[in-house]
Amino acid sequence: MKALIVAPDDTALQWQRAPLAAADYQRLLTAVRRLESPGLAARLSNYIGMPVEKALASLPETWVKPVTRLTQEALGKALDAALLTLPAGAVPRPAPKLSHRLLAGLSGAVGGSFGIASLAVELPVSATLMLRAIAATAHEHGEDLDDPRVRLACLEVFALGGSSRSDDNAEIGYYAVRAFLSKTLEESAKHIVKKGLAKEGAPALVKFMSAVAQRFSVQVSQKLAVQSLPLLGAASGATVNVIFMEHFQKTAQAHFTLRRLERIYGRERIQVAYRQVASTIQ
């Protein structure tokens, strides 16, 4: 019996080459602008009226070294606490952005003036609130929080940043970060399916958490440096935390917008479109 040879579907090929729907293109454009625009450092610099680098230079060395370790510990606690208490399922719901920002402001009001000691207490709280806000955004975009890959994609937001010349040196392109994390994310998701969030015997999960924490710690250091300035009080510490929360909420909004477009059009097509748009705004 001869094998049946099916000719390419011209309609399907035309669809693959066709431009995105107008509304989806606008969503893509908004997401690209968000992810490729100046990041947290620029916003904090505008708020305090001086470069964040100058504030960072004033941090005691004894404060700088523990930040990565504290960040990794905070993300681990946040993953355990935040995602286990979120609503499951894939039915989209509006994310309560304002309430998360208010809670972040309250947690930030106690930080700053007490330095690294307060960071050890405040950061797990802030990270948990931010991860809940990120997960709520994922849910809003139709993501299923029962899926371990989605839970890790929420954590992935802490590692994301733009590649614009005016942005932080530590940040690289959106798809480059996702590609870097993709292998350990998949392996970590398989481990979670089998053994839950236990990190024992899960080198991929430990590596994934470490990679995210390494990038997130840069922004945590910036936050700590600004909150530790003598001119800032509790109210300003709260404002810094609100800026911090808002930054990651907007990053999550862009991230999960792109994931939703990838489910509709395919990741390769959205990645190509992303790069085309990004090249016009840099």
Of 85 and 145, which is predicted with more confidence? 145
Of 102 and 219, which is predicted with more confidence? 219
pLDDT-based confidence at 17, cuts 50/70/90? low
Structure tokens at 4: 């049946």
Q: What is the DSSP letter of 166?
A: T
Structure tokens at 172: 């690289």
Q: What is the DSSP letter of 198?
A: -
pTM of the model: 0.82
pLDDT tens-digit series, residues 260-274: 999 999 999 999 999
User: Is 251:201 a contact under the CB 8 Å cutoff?
Assistant: no
- Mean pLDDT over 48-55 rounds to 85
pLDDT tens-digit series, residues 107-145: 544 554 555 677 788 888 888 888 888 988 998 999 998
Q: Is 200 helix (H, G, I), strand (E, B) or coil?
A: coil
User: Is 10:21 a contact under the CB 8 Å cutoff?
Assistant: no
Q: Give the pLDDT confidence score for residue 79 in this predicted structure.
A: 82
Q: Give the pLDDT confidence score for residue 114 in this predicted structure.
A: 56
User: Picking from 100-104, 160-164, 203-207, which range would have the lowest pLDDT averaged per residue?
Assistant: 100-104
pLDDT-based confidence at 1, cuts 50/70/90? very low
Q: How far is CA 178 from CA 100, 154, 258, 265, in A?
A: 26, 12, 12, 18
Question: In the chain, where does DSSP find H-type helix?
Answer: 10-17, 22-36, 40-48, 52-57, 61-64, 67-82, 97-108, 116-140, 148-156, 174-195, 203-227, 234-265, 267-281
Q: Which of 215, 141, 155 is nearest to 185 (CA)?
A: 155
Which range has highest mean pLDDT (15-29, 33-47, 52-66, 144-158)?
144-158
Say how many C-beta atoms besides its own lie within 10 A of residue 38's C-beta: 17
Q: Give the pLDDT confidence score for residue 53 in this predicted structure.
A: 87
Q: Give the pLDDT confidence score for residue 31 in this predicted structure.
A: 96
pLDDT-based confidence at 46, cuts 50/70/90? confident
Of 85 and 136, which is predicted with more confidence? 136
Structure tokens at 148: 């371990």
Please give the mean pLDDT across all residues of the chain: 78
Q: Give the pLDDT confidence score for residue 82 in this predicted structure.
A: 63
Say yes or no to pLDDT of 99 above 60: no
Share of the chain above pLDDT 70, in %: 72
Structure tokens at 236: 């300003």
Q: Which residue has the tokens 């050890």?
A: 120
What angle is formed at CA 180 by the lines to CA 175 and CA 184, rounded to 5 degrees? 125
Please, how many CA atoms are within 13 Å of residue 133, restricted to the half-sphere of its CB?
28
Say yes or no to pLDDT of 153 above 60: yes
Rounded Cα–Cα distance for residues 21 and 47 (Å): 38
Of 246 and 27, which is predicted with more confidence? 27
Say yes or no to pLDDT of 105 above 90: no
Q: Which of 205, 206, 168 is nearest to 190 (CA)?
A: 205
Q: Give the pLDDT confidence score for residue 164 in this predicted structure.
A: 41
Of 8 and 195, which is predicted with more confidence? 195
Q: Give the pLDDT confidence score for residue 15 in this predicted structure.
A: 45
Of 48 and 92, which is predicted with more confidence? 48
- Mean pLDDT over 224-235 rounds to 70
Non-local (6+) Cβ contacts of 8 within 8 A are: none
Rounded Cα–Cα distance for residues 45 and 31 (Å): 23
